[in-house]
Amino acid sequence: MDMTRLIALPYAALALAATAAAATSSSGDDDAAALGAIIEARSDEDKARDRWRNPAETLGFFEVTPVSTVVEVLPGREWYTRIILPYVAAEGRYVGANYQDGMWPLILPEPTPELVERLSTWAETFSESARDIAETAQPVTAFEFGAAPSSLEGEVDVVLFIRALHNFNRAGGAFGAEALSDAYRLLKPGGVLGVVQHEAPAGAEGAAADGTDGYMSREAVIDMIEAAGFRLEATSDVNANPADQPQPGEFVWRLAPTFGLGEKGRDAYAAIGETNRMTLRFRKPEN
């Protein structure tokens, strides 16, 4: 028996492992640099939110990479879209997802005819507007929950619910259950569901913790998502803001960037910053 060969084998395995680890580290460094460059290139208005939203750390925590297929829920004013879409444009894929049509009358008591019309064509107009953000290797697609395209089933790496869950609760639990069911179907086994959500203070109840005022309890969010089949894997305080201590009756939108109370208390609210937010990573089981 060649003892030299037997002794050499473990060292060869270690060398291969070290090489693979170095390659992974190098790739990770390159990805971080690319993401950082995109974040730095945005407008000053967008970057003013970074201290509260921590996009590089948040997307890293959710395992978004340049090769990821990412579904962003409620792109809204496209703040995160202007980061994610350029990041995945060359090798990955970006998909926008919006609330179900039936939700809007429940969360917007008096939607204007213009808004109703805009929402009815949202998927098409959003896909078109995304062209102004970045040229992509694959066309940007968009859908509304309840009508998720079957072509995406089992193809998605990451679904992001960033400041979006409270409206499902405001409209009734059935809409949220349908959205999470769609997310589960679209994700690959082992895929990530990422949540950033306005977090209610410990012990808060009723409107202060059920989404009515924009805040939700951590326990309610975890229960809601685990009921859809996901497993909570990790939590982060990256988007926590201990200065946000809402009193009963105070809603999320009193703070930046909305300042929903106008000039009333604006200086004090500006000093608080944006809301206290939980950051949770869930995973779809491998089997």
The string of pLDDT tens digits covering residues 160-174 is 999 999 999 999 889
Q: Write the CA distances from 127 to 84, 132, 138, integer angstroms.
A: 14, 10, 11
* Three-state DSSP class for residue 137: coil
How many angstroms separate the CA atoms of 88 and 140, rounded?
11
How many angstroms separate the CA atoms of 101 and 92, rounded?
28
Q: What pLDDT sits at residue 117?
A: 81
Structure tokens, 49: 């939110």
Mean pLDDT estimate for the chain:
92
- DSSP labels for 156-193? EEEEEEES-HHHHHHH-HHHHHHHHHHHHHHEEEEEEE
Higher per-residue pLDDT: 11 or 158 = 158
How many angstroms separate the CA atoms of 199 and 53, rounded?
14
> Which pLDDT tens digit goes with each residue over 212-228?
999 999 999 999 999 99
> Which pLDDT tens digit goes with each residue over 21-73?
555 567 889 999 999 999 999 999 999 999 999 999 999 999 999 999 999 99
Q: Which amino acid is at 272?
A: I
> Which pLDDT tens digit goes with each residue over 265-285?
999 999 999 999 999 999 999
Closest of 254, 248, 286, 251 to residue 273, by C-alpha:
254
Higher per-residue pLDDT: 123 or 23 = 123
pLDDT band at 115 (very low <50, low <70, confident <90, very high): confident
Long-range (24+ apart) CB contacts under 8 A made by 214-218 are 214/166, 214/251, 214/252, 214/253, 214/275, 215/166, 215/246, 215/251, 215/252, 215/275, 216/165, 216/166, 216/169, 218/278, 218/280
Q: What pLDDT sits at residue 8?
A: 47
Q: Averaged over 225-241, what is the pLDDT?
A: 98
Q: Which helix (H) or strand (E) holds 96?
A: strand 93-98
The yes-or-no verdict on residue 17 having pLDDT over 80 is no
The strands making up 69-73's β-sheet, listed across from edge to edge, are 141-144, 93-98, 69-73, 156-162, 187-198, 277-283, 231-236
Structure tokens, 250: 């105070």
136 CB-near residues (< 8 Å, 6+ apart) = 85, 88, 89, 90, 93, 94, 130
Q: What pLDDT sits at residue 15?
A: 53
> Which pLDDT tens digit goes with each residue over 35-47?
999 999 999 999 9
pLDDT band at 186 (very low <50, low <70, confident <90, very high): very high
Q: Averaged over 142-164, what is the pLDDT?
A: 97
Q: What pLDDT sits at residue 23?
A: 57
pLDDT band at 83 (very low <50, low <70, confident <90, very high): very high
